[in-house]
Every structure is written in C-alpha cells, then in structure tokens.
Amino acid sequence: MEGEPSHRMEKGQRKVRRHLPPGRGPYTVGTVDLMCGHNENGSFFRLFYPTNDTDIYKRDRQWPLWIPRRQYGIGYMYFLGRNPKIFGKLFNWLGGDVYVPALWQAPVLQNGKKFPVIVLSHGLGGNRTTYTTLCLELASQGFIIAAVEHRDGSASMTLCLRESFRHSVRHADDSSHSHHHHRNSFSEDWKKFDKPKHIQWDDFDYRNKQVHQRAGECSRVLDILKDLNDGKPLYNSLGIIINTSHFKDTMNITEASIIGHSFGGATCVCALADDERFKAGVVVDGWMHPLDDRVYETVSQPILMLNMETFQWKKNVQQMMRLKTDNNVERLMLTIKGTCHQSVSDFQFLTSKAMGLLFNLRNKLTPHVAMDIIRCGTLGFLWKHLGQDCTDSGKGNQFDSVLAGTREHVVMGTTLDLS
C-alpha cells in the first residue's frame, strides 16, 4: 500500500526484508552507530556514508533494524502521551520488522574522493534513526551524515551507559615489564523524553539552554568526524569495533554543513552561529522560539528554510524572516504544499494512507513526492554553497526548480499572511 515499507522479490526467489526506501543516488550506503563517551556528556550518533558498490537487495541480511531496540518504540509513545506499555508494544509491532537498506559496518568507499560531511539534528521526540530515509538519500549522493541522538532530554529515548565496576588486569610482556590495563563494565541506562513538571513546555529559558547544549553536541560530533578523518584511534562505547583506517582521508571536513528538523532547525541555526566550521545549513520546518537575539545577530552562513505547509504559524515565520535581513548571504525560504510536520520523517512510510492521515503522519502529498522535494531542495542548496558538483548527471534542473520555487507543490516564501 502507498506509504508503507516495501518488500521486494528477487527474481522468483526469497522475499527481501521489509524496508524503508533506499537512497536513489549513485552510491551504495553503509551505516554504523558510534557512542563516544558513555554518559550524557558524550556523543551518540548513527553514521551514513558511501560504501563499495553492490546490489543492496542481495545483501539484506546485513541491513540493521530501523528501531534498534524496543525501548525506542516505548519512548515514542511516552513522548506522545500514550500508555508506553500498551502503545509501545503496538508501535514495535508496527515498525519492529522494518529494516534500513544500508550495509551495517561496511567500510567507507575509498575512491580518492573526500566526501562532504553533514550533521543532522532531530526534533523534539526524535532520535538518531527518525530521519533515516533522508539520510540514505544524502549518503547515496556522496555525503557522510552523522545523525545525532541528543542527550539534553529532547530525544524520545536515548541510551546511556553507567559504569558498574572497574578492575585492573596485570600482565607481563616479553621484556618482563608488567603493565596494568583498566577494564570497565557498564550497565544500560535508558533516558526517556524529559517532561518538566513545573514549567511550560515552551518555556524560553529552558529551551534556550537546551538549544545551546544541542549545538555544542553537534560541534563535538564534528570534532569526532575530524578525528576519524585524521585516522586517530576511537573507542566506541557500544563495543562495536571501528577500524579508523577505513575513515582516514575520506571526509571533507572543511565543507561541513548542518541540517535540523523542528527543534533541530533552531539547533541548526544556533550551531551555525557558534561554529564557523559549518558552512551552510538547512532548517526543515524549524521551530524558532528557542533562539536568542545573539544567535540571529551572529549567524553569517547561507541557510535554506524548507517549511511544511500545515505546521507553520505567523509568529514562527516572522522569526524566520529575521534571518533574511542579511542581504550579503543567501537566506532562502520555501514552502511545500500538501505537507505536514512529519513529511520529513520516516513515519509516513510506515503506515497506510488512511492511518497516516488519521495520525497526522502525512498530508495530501504522497510520502515519496514530499521526500523527493525535500531531497532536491537540500541537495541543490548544499551543492551550490559547498562548491560541489551534482552527482545526478543531467538532472540538475530538478534541483534548480525546487530552489526557484517553480516545481509543482513548491511555493517561494510562505503561504501564510504575515500582515
């Protein structure tokens, strides 16, 4: 059915696992999770990147699950205010067998190119897998994307690790010198979405503190990517072995960008203001309330504001318009008609049309068309401002038409009356 995860049959053989839409670019995509620092002060993200060319459908046994652990389904329902035990089981039943069409722990493609990097910031109640379809699209076009799972209490659920005990192991080497190695044992500590009891959900001071913490997390992830690119050793707290030599000299760190959805949109702007290493930003249906005046006064990079039709309201768009007062840099606002706030997330691909409309996971525009417009707008804007060549040879007009506001369903500016 329309919008639901697809199955694919291999020429009269077995059925391929239920999965999200694969990236349509020229590159096969690999993916892996990294946790650098096991507590709230560490960094946790999923990395998507080009890998060696292969038939992705013949290797579906190497695909990871979209919901990595059942706790994430419970977290989504807790965020929505539903009974997490009942509805969490229902959500895990609905999406628990959906796979990501990317190769788990595959090596990064070594073809002499340095791929530009993107840091992606989720919205309230999201996590590192919420925008997997978009990440697959971008990675298949030659980007390396780090999808952050924020530790500020804004994720639907996130995993931290608590040190249970530490012990020392002593051994002697061939020269009879003894050495001590410390080994840590960790227990899982699941952190659900933070719902403050004594303040409004949109309290400015609370959200402003969060947005700056989130921007700092994005910068730390960029630091980790730089270390990976430099070939420095990296300890993954998840226990997944990372061969850092596979990442050495594969990233163009000087052409970094950042993308954010909703609260992640505000995070995107804040990170641009705080960290000039990010050369461009894409704000997808941004929620601007958490931003302070200093951010608006400081940010200097080009920004695409890609809005969904049904989510935005006058005051929020007026705050976005503050970004357009700088005439020395491109600040482009577009609205996609027939879309809702979740038209950028994976949820629209998990349900039938009727269920998607009922739960506001999609709007009039079909999920594949909505995602294609978001893909084209994002890629076209980043390629333009990062000095990158379009990887879809001969198809540049599809990106240009979105940015010019001439493609069907795309409106330059906003559909709201701001007077």
Tokens standing for 284?
């997808």
Q: What is the DSSP string of 339-381?
A: --GGGGSSGGGTS-HHHHHHTTS--SS-HHHHHHHHHHHHHHH
**What is the C-alpha separation between 117 and 139, in angstroms, rounded?**
9
CA diameter of the chain: 81
- The catalytic residue among 122, 150, 212, 341 is 341
Dihedral of CA atoms 304, 309, 311, 314 in degrees, nearest 10, equals 80
**What is the C-alpha separation between 357 and 345, in angstroms, rounded?**
14
- The catalytic residue among 262, 274, 275, 346 is 262
**What is the C-alpha separation between 210 and 206, in angstroms, rounded?**
6
Whether 341 is catalytic is: yes
The structure tokens 């999770």 sit at 33
**What is the C-alpha separation between 250 and 291, in angstroms, rounded?**
34
Residues 6+ apart with CB under 8 A from 359: 351
Residues 6+ apart with CB under 8 A from 293: none
- Rounded to whole angstroms, what are the CA distances from 324 to 8, 328, 410, 415? 45, 10, 19, 17
Whether 262 is catalytic is: yes
DSSP H or E stretch at residue 91: helix 84-95
- Rounded to whole angstroms, what are the CA distances from 198 to 83, 120, 203? 22, 30, 10
Q: Read off φ and ψ for residue 338, nearest 5 degrees.
A: 75, 20
Tokens standing for 7?
């199955």
DSSP conformational letter for 42: S
6 neighbors 12 (Cβ within 8 angstroms): no
Which residues are 161's β-sheet partners? 188
DSSP H or E stretch at residue 402: helix 396-403
164 neighbors 186 (Cβ within 8 angstroms): yes
Whether 150 is catalytic is: no
What amino acid positions are annotated as catalytic residues?
262, 285, 341
